Structure 1
Amino acid sequence: MTVVLALRCANGLVLASDSQITDPGRGLTYPAQKLHTLGAHAAWGGSGSRAVLYDVEQVFSREPDSILEAKDIGHALQARILPILKHHYANFIAEVPGQETGGTPATYVLAAGYVGDAPFIIDIDPNGLIGHHEETGFQAVGSGAAMAQQAHALVTHFHMSQRDVDYGVVAALRVLDALDASSPSVGGPMDICRITPEGAHHLSEDEVADVRGHVRRWVQLEQKALDGLFD
């Protein structure tokens, strides 16, 4: 199971993902990098076919500036992803002798970042359709997306869209850790990118560990408030 999520805050964006890959055809799970840079002010992540995502990564790494400088970033992303999807779909072998579990995973791409002071959260689905999520302020892709949406719904009353981006980083990690605890196919290490108009910063393992300390404090404060609810 994969989950990649994007969250909008008052002054920035957060893009986050788990790092566990599940290969049902071979019965394997292994870690893999799911978030990638997209120039200096954006990042992207994907779920689904690793072959497709590898090709997307090669194209995006060569052309980040032309994507971000395009009049319509959604169309720029779509124009680069569609030929890759069509190529893989056209050359996909549906049935392999001796392989009971076949099929190619549906591939989604989720990108977030800034062009000047304007934020964007855009996804491209397996049909090549474009989704814009700047106004709703949250989107998740991958087989764990529905669970991420539910987990996010449980923290909407904290109004992350009105808070500093550092709160969003903590909220994103809390959602991922909740999925890790509830689903054996979601696993760390967790990858987080903090994005502001000044640039995109991918957190190191030590920085993620510091954020997890804030998550624990958040949970402790909630428990303390609940303990005194009927005082």
Structure 2
Amino acid sequence: MTVVLALRCANGIVLASDSQITDPGRGLTYPAQKLHPLGDSAAWGGSGSRAVLYDVEQLFTEEAEAIVEAKDIGHAIQARVRPILKHHYENFIPSVPGQEKAGTPATFILAAGYAGDRPFIIDLDPNALLGHHEETGFQAIGSGAAMAQQAHALLTHFRMPERDVDYGLVAALRVLDALDASSSSIGGPMDLCRITPEDGAQHLTPKQVEGVRKDVARWVKLEQSALDDLFA
């Protein structure tokens, strides 16, 4: 199971993901990097076929500048990823003798960042259909997306779109950690990317992620104290 999510805040965007890959054909799980740079001011993540995502990563690395500087970033992504999807679908063998569980090339892409000072949150589904989520301020992809959407809904009263992006880092990690605790197929280490127009896309180090996790613990403790005093 995979989850990649994007969260828009008052002055930036957070892109976050788990790092656990599940191979149902071989009954294996292993960690893998799911967040990748898209030039200096954006990043992207994907779920689904590793072969498809590898091809997308190579292409995005080579053409990041052209994508982010395009008049319509969504169409620029769509035009580049659609041929990759089509190629893999055409060469996919759905049934292999002796293999009961086959993987599928179904792949989702989620990209977020800034074109100048203009924010974007764009996803591309396995049919190469685009979705824009700048206004709603949240999107999640992967098999854990529904749980991420539900977790985000439970945090809406904290008004993350009105808060600094560092609050968004804490909220995103709290969502990922909650999914990790409730699903054996989502696991760490967790990846976080902080994106602002001024600083560009900053991929947090494991040590920095642990610092954010300490802030999550402080947040939970403050909530518990508030609840303890509710009927005092």
Q: Please tell me the TM-score bracket, short chain as reference.
A: over 0.9
Contact kept in structure 1, 2:19 and 2:34, CA below 8 Å: yes
Residue 141 of structure 1: how far off its partner (Å): 0.1
Distance 1:123 1:74 in 2: 8
Map of 1:202 onto structure 2: 203
Distance 1:153 1:53 in 2: 29
Pairing of 1:36-75 with structure 2 (within 5 A): 36-75=36-75
Does the residue aligned with 2:127 lie in a helix, a strand or coil?
A: coil
Does the residue aligned with 1:221 lie in a helix, a strand or coil?
A: helix
Map of 2:137 onto structure 1: 137
Residue 105 of structure 1: how far off its partner (Å): 4.6
Pairing of 1:9-24 with structure 2 (within 5 A): 9-24=9-24
Residue 107 of structure 1: how far off its partner (Å): 0.5
Map of 2:188 onto structure 1: 188
Distance 2:108 2:146 in 1: 14
Tell me the alpha carbon deviations over residues 39-76 of structure 1, each in whole angstroms, 9 at most, x when there is no partner: 00000000000000000000000000000111100000
Distance 1:51 1:207 in 2: 30
**Alignment: residue pair count:** 231
Map of 2:124 onto structure 1: 124
Contact kept in structure 1, 2:52 and 2:105, CA below 8 Å: no
The answer for unaligned runs of 5 or more in structure 1 is: none
Residue 103 of structure 1: how far off its partner (Å): 3.8
Map of 1:213 onto structure 2: 214
Does the residue aligned with 1:26 lie in a helix, a strand or coil?
A: coil
Partner amino acid, structure 2, of 1:211: V
Contact kept in structure 1, 2:37 and 2:43, CA below 8 Å: yes
**What TM-score results when the alignment is normalised by the length of structure 1?**
0.99
Partner amino acid, structure 1, of 2:179: L
Contact kept in structure 1, 2:92 and 2:105, CA below 8 Å: no
Matched, 1:161 2:153: no
Does the residue aligned with 2:99 lie in a helix, a strand or coil?
A: coil
Tell me the alpha carbon deviations over residues 96-131 of structure 1, each in whole angstroms, 9 at most, x when there is no partner: 111001240520000000011110000000000000
Distance 1:48 1:117 in 2: 31
Distance 1:180 1:91 in 2: 34
Map of 1:7 onto structure 2: 7
The answer for unaligned runs of 5 or more in structure 2 is: none
Distance 1:55 1:115 in 2: 24
Matched, 1:113 2:96: no
Distance 1:105 1:115 in 2: 30
Residue 164 of structure 1: how far off its partner (Å): 0.2
Distance 1:94 1:179 in 2: 30
Percent identity (aligned) = 79
Distance 1:78 1:22 in 2: 26
Distance 2:3 2:103 in 1: 19
Does the residue aligned with 1:63 lie in a helix, a strand or coil?
A: helix
Map of 1:177 onto structure 2: 177
Distance 2:105 2:188 in 1: 21
Contact kept in structure 1, 2:24 and 2:103, CA below 8 Å: no
Distance 2:110 2:12 in 1: 16
Map of 1:77 onto structure 2: 77
Q: CA RMSD in A?
A: 0.5
Contact kept in structure 1, 2:95 and 2:102, CA below 8 Å: yes
